[in-house]
Amino acid sequence: MVEGTVGSGKTSLIEKITSLCKCKPFYELSDRMIEDMLVRFYHDRKRWAFTLQILFLTSRFEQIKEASRIERAILDRSIFGDVVFAKMLHRYGDMGGHELSVYERLYRSLIDSINPPYLMVYVRISTDLAVKRIKQRGRDYELIVEREYWENLNREYEKYFSSYNRSPLVIINADKYDWVRNEEDGFYLANKVKNLIERSISGELSENFRIEI
């Protein structure tokens, strides 16, 4: 599973890992309903925050159930990190307390029914670089979002992964490596992830294992 804030380069990194590991990728935006809801959400966050989070949670649960039936799979974001968005939306007033309680009850129920990944990859990135990439790819519904939203989201990701212990964790610094433009960086990181996955499958890594590269 590969996690990270918007604009961190998750999808590009997954492509590199998939090429080396021969995994089947599951992408976050492969569901047209989610893309349509994202457009609504970014134009009116308070109105659509809860609906979007329930849709994301459902989609991620469906993906991980399907992925669990495949020998090698890699997910673009996961049900485990989904709670980052919900807590951020509540903390900054876009989701009500009762809505968060309903979300968390469903989240806990779903999480308890699935196994954690062999390896969690968290792509750490500065807000400056994330915003730059968001502007470069030019999705209309992301361009209308204020910088403060991206700063808050990045902060919540850091908070979540500072105490993550469900599975082995590798943290990749996107400000240090450019796997999109530099083939050597892409191969190096994909090979690192591949080796860590193999070590985790063999039982060598505990759920408290973490490494930063």
Count of residues in the chain? 213
pLDDT, residue 208, reads 93
The burial class, CB within 10 Å (0-12 / 13-18 / 19+), for 78 is buried
pLDDT, residue 154, reads 95
pLDDT, residue 149, reads 92
**Beta strand pairing call for 169-173 and 120-124:** parallel
pLDDT, residue 21, reads 85
Determine contact, residues 213/192, Cβ cutoff 8 Å: yes
What does the block give as tokens for 114? Answer: 């699935």
DSSP letter for each residue of 106-150 = HHHHHHTTSPPPS-EEEEE--HHHHHHHHHHHT-HHHHTS-HHHH
Q: What is the fold, at CATH topology level, of the domain defined by 2-212? A: Rossmann fold (3.40.50)
**Beta strand pairing call for 210-212 and 120-124:** unpaired
What separation, in Å, do the N-terminal and C-terminal C-alpha atoms of the chain show? 17
Residue 212, helix vs strand vs coil: strand
DSSP state, 180?
Answer: T
pLDDT, residue 158, reads 96
**Where are the domains positioned within the chain?**
2-212
210's enclosing H/E stretch is: strand 210-212
Query: Whole-prediction pTM value?
Result: 0.92
The burial class, CB within 10 Å (0-12 / 13-18 / 19+), for 33 is exposed
**Distance (Å, whole) CA 105 – CA 109:** 6
Alpha carbon dihedral 112, 156, 154, 28, in 10-degree steps, equals: 20
pLDDT, residue 132, reads 95
Q: Smallest Cα–Cα separation from 25: which of 97, 76, 100?
A: 76
User: For every one of its 213 residues, what pLDDT tens digit does the chain have, with 9 covering 90 and above?
Assistant: 999 999 999 999 999 999 888 889 998 877 789 989 999 999 999 999 999 999 999 999 999 999 989 888 999 988 999 999 999 999 989 999 999 999 999 999 999 999 999 999 999 999 999 999 999 988 888 999 999 999 999 999 999 999 999 999 999 999 999 998 999 999 999 999 999 999 999 999 999 999 999
